[in-house]
Structure 1
Amino acid sequence: MSYYFEISGETVWDPALRIAKWYLALAESTAELMQVPTGLTPSEQDTCEIDPRAFQGFVEGLYEVYFSTRHPVQHGLIKGLLLASLVVLERTGTVIRPKTEAEKSLWEEKQALARSM
């Protein structure tokens, strides 16, 4: 069973229901810690509407948190959510461009993940 992430009725990601629930739970709890909205509005019809501007703010904040530290545990905890969020953000038409070599290495992982999403 799929779950649809949409912008104005257009599907940008359709993961399995379990994956969607994991993603939404991680995004909501992380956004609460960062004190920003996710831009994600789940419904009971197994869909989630994405507010592009709010979602962009969430992903940019997550990106900033990730690259503001070298803490390996923090990186490990955030990385999966960040990678998936970057892929979805790109599918909304917004791309965050890497500025440093450390950021560029994350892009290779994002591209690999995007092929399986």
Structure 2
Amino acid sequence: MSQYYVVGDETVWNPAQGVSQLFLRQVAAFEDIVAQPSGIGPMESDEARIAPAELRAFADALLLWRARSRHPVLAALSDGFLATIIALADRTGVADPTWDSRLVAAGSELSRSMSR
């Protein structure tokens, strides 16, 4: 079974339920960390709506938060999530080419493997 992340009428991501559940738990944790909403709505009837402008602001806040630390464990715990957020930002048309190039590259690579 899969779940859908939608902008307007377009599905931008269609992960398996387990992947989606883990992702949404991470979203909630990182929303708390940066004290900002993600723009990713609740999962209702296997669909979560994304507000692109809020997602962009959330990605900006996450990248700023991440840039303030050089802690290797923090990097290991957060960079995969950041790549996923960047991939979603790319798919929703709000990615910023000035974001951290290493994370943008990881997000672009991940975006190619994400199902729609």
Q: TM over 0.5: same fold?
A: yes
User: Within the alignment, does 1:6 sit opposite 2:14 as a pair?
Assistant: no
How many corresponding residue pairs? 114
Shift of 1:4: 0.4
Determine the C-alpha separation between the residues in 1 that align with 2:44 and 2:94.
Answer: 27
1:78-89 alignment, distance < 5 Å: 78-89=78-89
TM-score of the superposition, structure 1-length normalised?
0.89
1:64 aligned partner: 64
RMSD: 1.4
2:102 aligned partner: 105
TM-score of the superposition, structure 2-length normalised?
0.89
Which fold has the larger relative contact order, with Cα–Cα distance below 8 Å and residues 6 or more apart in sequence? 2
**Which structure 2 residue ranges, 5 or more long, are not aligned?**
none
Report Cα offsets for 1:41-97 as digits up to 9, x if no partner.
123301100011111111111111112221111111111110000000111111222
Determine the C-alpha separation between the residues in 1 that align with 2:98 and 2:7.
Answer: 25
Contact 2:53 2:94 (8 Å CA) reproduced = no
1:93 aligned partner: 93
Q: Letter of the aligned partner of 1:83 in structure 2?
A: A
